[in-house]
Structure formats: C-alpha cells, structure tokens
Amino acid sequence: MSSPVDIAAGAAKRDTRRLRRGHNTPGPQLVRPTRSSRTPRQSAHNEDTGKLSAGVKSRKVATSSKDFLIPAACSLDTAFLDPTPSRRITRAFSKSVQAQLTPSLDTPAADPLPTQSVQPASTATGSPTAPPQPTRTKHKHESIEEEPVRRRRERSQSVAELPPSKDLLTWQNLEKLNIETASKTSDGMAGTKRSHSLRESTAELKPETASMSLPRSSLTLANYRLMSLDRARIVVQHRGIPEHLMHRVNAIIQPKLDKDQESLVFYVADNLCKQFPNVLEDAAREDDCVELLYQALNLMNGMLYDEAFALPRKADWDPALKPKAQRMFYMSNPPNQSLNDTGDSHDRPHKRQRVGASYVSSKISDATMMPLPPRPSKPDNNYVKTARPDITIGFFHHVVTKKLLSLGVNELAAKELLKDLQYQGELMSSPTRPALHVRFPSLVVEGKAYATGKSMYEAENQAAGSGSSMLAMQGHLAELTERYSPGSYENKEPLAFSVTHEGPLMLLWVHYITSLEDARFYNMHALGVCHTTMQSNTREFFMALAGVMRWASTEFLDDVAAQLFLVWKAANGQTI
C-alpha cells in the first residue's frame, strides 16, 4: 500500500511533466533538496514517513532521479510568483515540510535549521560525519534591507574590539578599519590642502620669499658654469682684465673713426632703438630679438667693411674645437703588488701607464707597485657643450685668399691652402660642421628672448664655450706656424669677442687666455653694457662693436695671413 508521501511524490512528477509540455494548469512548486541541505535531522524525518499530522497531506513518488516533497498546504500563487531562485525555494519548502511534520517518540523533534552551519559530532549510528554547509533562509531583498542595520551596528563598536592581528581578515574587521582610517586620512589630506593653499597664498603675497627657492633650471645653469666649464678651465671673470691686455682691448673698443664712419654707426644705433620697442611690446621670441641685432651688424658690414664678414645664423660648430679637460690623475696610497704575482709580462704596467708613475713617490719601486689604471684613450672634452652661436661673424673664404695673394702666395695655393689644411686635420680654420667656409671667426652673438623666461646667465655660459673655441682655433694656428717655421714669427695673444643679450639688454665681452704653470685658462670679461631703448647708451655700444669689426678686418686678418704665409713657404717644396 502506498504511503501518503509516495502519493505526493507521484503528483509532483505529473505536475512537472505538464509544466514541461506547456500546460498552464497551476500545480504545486517542485522542490528538490540538494545534497548540502540534507542534514541528519532531515534524513530522520524522511525515514519516519508514517507519522504525519492530520492537517497536512503529502505525497511521495519515486522518480528515476530524486525524491520530491510537495507540501499540500503551500500556496500555488506563491510558488509561481516568487522570483527567488530555485535553490532558495527548495530550501524554503523543505523548511515548511519539516515544520509541519509531527515528531514521534522515537525521533527527536525537527527544529528549523539556523542560518549558521551545524556541526554534529556523529550520526545516530555513531559514525562521524562531515560538517554540513550552511543553509540560507533569507531572500535577496531581505538581506539588502538588513544590510544598513548591520553596518550601523558594526560602526558603533569600538576599535578596541578588533581581533588580534593573528586572526584572518574579515569584512567586519575591514569595515571597522576603514571607518577609523578614513577620518584620519581625510584630516591629513585636509591639512595637506591647507598647507598647499597656504604656500600658494604666501607666494602670491610675498614674491621675495618665493624667489629664495631656485628652480631646477637655475641650478643646472649654475652647475654647468661652476663644474663643467670649470673642469675645462673656462672662467667668467669679474675681477678685471690683466694690465697688459687692458691697453690693447681699450684701443680696440675705442676706435678713431672719421665723421662719415661715425655718422654711419650712429645711424645704425638709432635705427635699432626705433625698432626694438615694437618687439618689446609683444611676447617676442628669441629669434625676433636676435634678428634686429643681425640686421644692424649686417648693415655695418656692408657700409663700413665692404662685406668682408660672413654672418651665418645658428651654425653648428665642430666639437673638436672645444677645450679639453686635461687634469692630473691622482692616486693616493697605491696598494702593494699581490703576493701571488708571478711577475708575468701581462701584469707589468704598459708604457702609457708607466708615464703616470711620476705622480707617485719615487721611493716606491716599480716591482712593488700595482699597475696604474690606463689613461683614457681620448681626452675628456665632454664637459663643455658644443658651440652653436645665434650669429657667427667670420671672414669669407675669398677675403683670406685675397690677403694671401697680396703676400706672394700663388693663386692656386691661396685658394686651396685652408681647404687642404682642414681636410688633412692640420688646421681647422672653419668652425662650422657643414663647411660653410666661415674662416677664423672673432665675434659671436648669443641671445635670449625677453619674455620666455630665459636669462642672461645662460647666454653667458654659451658665449663662454663659443669664445673658448675661437681662442683654441687661434692657438692651433700658432702651434702650426711654430712647427713649420720655428721662431720665425712673434705671435700675439689670442683675442675674441662676443655679445650676449636678453631682450634689449646687451653686453660686450672679451675672451683671452692666461697661463699658470703650463695650464691654459680661457677667460671672458665684460667690457660694456647697453639698453637698446636708450639712444646715447646704444650709440656708445655700437661704437665699440664697430671697433671690434675694424680690428678683425685689419689687425687680426693681417696676423692670420702672415702665419699662413709662413706655413705655405715652409711646405712649398713638399707635394702630397
């Protein structure tokens, strides 16, 4: 005879088939208890199928897969309208069936399962069982409604209630930690914002205080002058020019011009004063300011010196002209030779290494010394930046050729002498890398814009490198002359000039060489300053520039041609 539970299961199976075939006849909700939800208590009640209450009608039908329990008292509307997932509905109906089952005398009462997992020690037979999984009885909307209440309850707890650090991190502990750290973080950020705004307001109200902190670019420029240029012995002097050079320089920058030449110089200066205000009233670029000075110099070149000078702009110079930082190599307390040294030839100092042994005490024998580190194969000249003046003022090639012809050099040699010397690496008379044939420059211009944040300090650093390259070029010519014709010519001390400007502010510099114990120093010193919006000051400045260009086209050109003539004469009988 079939039990009521079997009858209920058979009805559930028929209802399930009707639903799958598309019938709309309402039936009870199917319940399939999962393995995880089958607790020992549920198993005990399922076995006791004969003890049901009078008000509950249940049927059980054995299917091919699982047993289904359908409570007859369950509402069909609730079963079909509840959008809860099937697993949660299954657990809810299981709970409903268990609540309506009548406990027997032999079987303990079936209490509703709590939300937390129950871990019994053993089953009724005494065999140990694995702890079952927790059964959830809350719907999604119920957990959402209780979430704010749970969070408020957790926030009310003190920080002292946090578990020890050895416990695992839980969401409750994390939320408590976030509550405490959020307030401290917000206070710290607020303090940071207040301090930042305080610095900004202080900088706005007190500009002199803000100027005390130097920007990175200013420190870089200072380091370049005080370290890189100093390593190459390039010095920006502020303590005066040597006495024997002062008379010579004054004669150059204070020329004796006739009335016509002086009028032309004043015309150029006045024209520059009229054009510069148009540039200063706008945020002019560097090239805009340099262009005005270029036009003034080019005008004097054509009106006074018959266009003897070439004025290329932004020409890249050859890095070989840069002064080389040659410093003594110091090695204090050289270690003794290793005791395991067998004296093999490859452990002995090389010839170049033994040259540096003069810096070490002579009392230490070569046998007890470690080999000195090899000297660099090339002199260290990476400290100084390669020159790239805004304007380079040097001679055209045909000007030097014409001067050599006047001294007796034949025409072919006069045209090819400088080219051959530069090609063979004997003399670099043209500093520009693309070989623009600008011979022996003696004046350069390094400028910075007035409204772009650049400074005169940077222009001076650039002029220091360009000026030292011009002096090095003249020094190479003197060495070449001495090598080909020793003692035949009394060389003059090399001189070069440069103009640095920051907008309307211009400075004239002289570059010269001094020696100290066979060490060569490249110096530069300021000679004059002007502001191009002041007419009288600008006229005086351009008179000095006219003197420099006059000296270059006469005295300096004659000196260069005389030395080249001696070189050609000494090498006249040689063919290559």
Q: What pLDDT, in 10s, does the model give residues 387-399?
A: 999 999 999 999 9
Categorize the per-residue pLDDT at 454 as very low, low, confident or very high, splitting at 50, 70 and 90. Answer: confident
272-306 burial: b if 16+ Cβ within 10 Å, else e: bbeebeebbeeebebebbbbbbbebbbbbbeebbe
Q: Shortest CA distance to 544 belongs to which of 503, 507, 512? A: 507
Three-state DSSP state, 532: coil
Would you say residue 144 has pLDDT above 60?
Answer: no
Residue of 304 and 57 predicted with greater confidence: 304
Dist. CA 28–CA 52, nearest whole Å? 19
Q: What pLDDT, in 10s, does the model give residues 317-354?
A: 999 999 877 667 676 655 554 434 444 433 433 433 33
Would you say residue 226 has pLDDT above 80?
Answer: yes
Specify which of 136-150, 430-444, 521-535 reaches the highest per-range mean pLDDT.
Answer: 521-535
Half-sphere exposure of 346 (CA within 13 A, CB side): 0
Would you say residue 103 has pLDDT above 50?
Answer: no
Instruction: Read off the amino acid at residue 571.
Output: A
Q: In the prediction, which pLDDT does 451 show?
A: 78
Q: What pLDDT, in 10s, does the model give residues 7-31?
A: 766 766 776 666 666 545 444 444 4
Would you say residue 311 has pLDDT above 90?
Answer: yes
Report CA-CA distances (Å) from 197 to 183, 187, 202, 258, 477.
21, 15, 8, 64, 62
DSSP letter for 548, please. H
Q: In the prediction, which pLDDT does 430 show?
A: 93
Would you say residue 225 has pLDDT above 70?
Answer: yes
Categorize the per-residue pLDDT at 453 as very low, low, confident or very high, splitting at 50, 70 and 90. Answer: confident
Categorize the per-residue pLDDT at 1 as very low, low, confident or very high, splitting at 50, 70 and 90. Answer: low
Q: In the prediction, which pLDDT does 163 show?
A: 55
Q: What pLDDT, in 10s, does the model give residues 289-304?
A: 899 999 999 999 999 9
In this prediction, residues 144-173 reach a mean pLDDT of: 62
Per residue, the 3-state secondary structure of 225-292, as one string, reads HHHHHHHCCEEECCCCCCHHHHHHHHHHHCCCCCHHHHHHHHHHHHHHHHHHHHHHCCCCCHHHHHHH
User: What residue spans define the domains of the chain?
Assistant: 4-115, 143-148+155-197, 248-324+383-568
Residue of 331 and 413 predicted with greater confidence: 413
Would you say residue 310 has pLDDT above 90?
Answer: yes
- Based on the number of CB atoms within 10 Å of its own CB, is 103 exposed (0-12), middle (13-18) or buried (19 or more)? middle
Residue 526, beta-bridge partner list: 509
Q: In the prediction, which pLDDT does 208 show?
A: 41
Residue of 537 and 117 predicted with greater confidence: 537
Percent of the chain as helix, strand, coil, to the nearest 5:
50, 10, 40
Q: What pLDDT, in 10s, does the model give residues 512-570?
A: 999 988 889 999 999 999 999 999 999 999 999 999 999 999 999 999 999 999 999 99
Would you say residue 162 has pLDDT above 50?
Answer: yes
Q: In the prediction, which pLDDT does 323 show?
A: 86
Backbone angles phi, psi at 314, to 5 degrees: 50, 50
Backbone angles phi, psi at 254, to 5 degrees: -125, 70
Percentage above 70 pLDDT, the chain: 53
In this prediction, residues 500-508 reach a mean pLDDT of: 94
Q: What average pLDDT does the structure give for the chain?
A: 72
